[in-house]
Amino acid sequence: MLVIDAAQLADALRSRDISQWTAESVARVGRIGDHATAAHDGGSLADEPGLRIDRMNREELGHVPFEREVKLGSRYIIEPYFNGLVIRSFVNLQQLRYLCAVVDHGLNVSVAAEALFTSQPGISKQIRQLEDELGVPIFIRQGKRLAALTAGGEVVVATARRALQELNNLKRVGAEFKAEDTGTLAIATTHTQARYVLPPVLKRFAERYPKVHLLLHQGNPVQVAQQTARAEVDVGIATEALADLTELATLPCYTWNRCVLVPKGHPLNKTNPLTLEALAQYPIVTYDFSFTGRSQINAAFAAKGLSPNVVLTALDSDVIKTYVALGFGVGIVAQMAYDPVRDAQFEKIEASHLFAASTTRLALRRGVYLRGYVYDFITLFAPQFDRSAIEAALRGEGEQYEL
C-alpha cells in the first residue's frame, strides 16, 4: 500500500478540475482525514469532500480533466484494485491513539479527552468514524456510555496498539541513527527502587550519556507494570506484578529481604533470634499490600497461623520510618531502605530468616525497539545481562533467567 501526501501531487493535479466529472464517476463516502489543521479535534475539514474512485482504468484516470486546486496537507491512500485504483478514506493514527486512550482510561471518554488535552466530542467523533470505516462496532454502548469492548473491538484495540508501537519503533530507529547519545530514558518504578537502588546507577548513566534526559515515574507495582505494558516508559522496575503480564519480558535483577526497625531500647531488640510470634505481639507499620514484597510478609504470618496487628501501611519506606519514630509501632522495611548513619535513631533487627526473599525484576515491552543507551542502562542496573541476553529475553528465550 502506498501513502501519498497531496503536496507531492500538487503539481500534477493543480490545473485539473473534478467538480463536474465526479458527478458520474465518484461516490461520496465520508471525508478524507488527517489534515494537519484538524489534528486538534481529530476531525476533517468541513469543506474537504471524501472521495472513492472505484474500478477505474489507470489510463482513464490519467485523462480525467481536473482543474480544481487540491488542498495541500490532505493525505490519501492509493492501492491496487483489480485493474484500477481505489482512492478512499482511511484509518488515521489519531483515531488509533484516541481509541487506545479511551480503553486505557476505563472507557471514560471525558477522562481520556482530558488526558489528551482535547475535547470529548472530538474523540467520540473519531471513534464513530473509525467504526464506520472498519464496518465493525468496537464498543458495546448503553445509551451514550461505553460499557465494554465487543469481540471485534478487542481485536481492533490489540491491532491498534501494535500499529502505534511499530510507529514508535520507527521513530526510535530514526532517532538512534540520527543521534545515538541523545534522547529520553523513561523509567517506571517504586519509591524503594527510586530512592535506594537507582541513584548510583543513574549517576553513572548520566555521566556516560549527559545528553539523555531521565524521567522517573513513581507508582505501585501494578501501575509500573501497566505503564510499561502500554509503552509509556522504556523500562519498568519493581518487585511485584511485572511477571504477571504476558506482553512484558522480565529480567530478574537481584534478591532482597527485610529487616525490622524499632526505636532505641525497644524490648523486641532483646529477642534473639527474632520470631514471628514475638513480632506479632506489637503493632506493625509496613508497606501497602501492593508494594515491595508485602505478599511475603502476609504469607509468613499466615503460615504460622498468626494475625499481625498492622496499624498503618504506607507507600514508601521513609513514611514508615517516620511513624515508627512517632511510636506507632515497629517497622518492617526492605533491608536496602536502612542506612546506619541516616537511621541512627533506630535499632535494626535481622528478619531475613522470617520471610521469603523477594526478587526485583526489570520489565520491557515485547516488540519495542530499544535505543542503544537503554541496553546500557539495563547492564548498569543488572550487570549479569548484556545486550544479547536482553534481546533473547525480548524474543521469549529468557524464561531460563532466574536468580
Q: Using the predicted structure, report yes or no on whether residue 280 has a pLDDT greater than 80.
A: yes
Q: Is residue 214 predicted with pLDDT exceeding 90? A: yes
Contacts with 181 (C-beta within 8 Å, 6 or more apart), sequence order: 209, 211, 212, 373
Same domain for 233 and 377, yes or no, is yes
Residue 215, in any domain of the structure: yes
Residue 289 covered by a domain: yes
**Tens of pLDDT, residues 159-195:** 888 888 877 777 766 765 666 788 899 999 999 999 9
Single out the residue in 146, 172, 198 at which a domain terminates. Answer: 172
Residues 238 and 308 in one domain: no
The total of structural domains in the chain comes to 4
The string of pLDDT tens digits covering residues 117-148 is 999 999 999 999 999 888 889 999 998 889 99
Domain with 109 in it: what CATH number? Answer: 1.10.10.10
Are both 104 and 127 inside the same structural domain? yes
Query: Does 137 lie in the same domain as 76?
Result: no
**pLDDT tens per residue, range 329-344:** 999 999 999 999 999 9
Residue 403 lies in a domain: no
Q: Does the structure show a pLDDT above 50 at 266? A: yes
Last residue within a domain, chosen from 117, 149, 172: 172
- Say what the pLDDT of residue 133 is: 86
- Give the residue with greater pLDDT, 381 vs 10: 381
Please check whether residue 401 lies inside any domain of the structure.
Answer: no
CATH number for the domain including 236? 3.40.190.10
- Asked if 224 contacts 241 with a C-beta cutoff of 8 angstroms, the reply is yes
Specify whether 209 is located in the same domain as 271. no
Q: Is 148 exposed, middle or buried (0-12, 13-18, 19+ CB in 10 A)?
A: exposed
State whether 240 and 369 are in the same domain: yes
Q: Residue 21 above 70 pLDDT? A: no
User: Helix 198-208 crosses helix 372-381 at what angle (to 10 degrees)?
Assistant: 140
Is residue 69 domain-resident? yes
Looking at the fold, whether 80 and 110 belong to one and the same domain comes out as no
Q: What is the DSSP letter of 189?
A: E
Same domain, 185 and 240: yes
Q: What cell does 100 get?
A: 487506545
**Averaged pLDDT for residues 315-322:** 93
Contact 232, 219 (CB under 8 A): no
Q: What percent of the chain has pLDDT over 70?
A: 73
The reported pLDDT for the residue numbered 104 is 92
Question: Is residue 18 in a domain?
Answer: yes
187-214 CB burial, b ≥16 within 10 A, e <16: bbbbbbbbbbbbeebbeebeeebeebee
Asked if residue 300 and residue 166 are part of one domain, the reply reads no
Q: Does 3 score more than 50 pLDDT?
A: no
- 362 CB-near residues (< 8 Å, 6+ apart): 235, 236, 237, 250, 251, 253, 378, 381, 382
Q: What is the DSSP letter of 27?
A: B
In a domain, 400, yes or no: no
Q: Which domain holds residue 340?
A: 258-356
Residue 168 and residue 126 share a domain: yes
User: Of 172, 203, 226, which one is at a domain's C-terminal end?
Assistant: 172
- The Cα–Cα gap between 188 and 225 comes to 8
Same domain, 272 and 348: yes
Same domain, 25 and 145: no
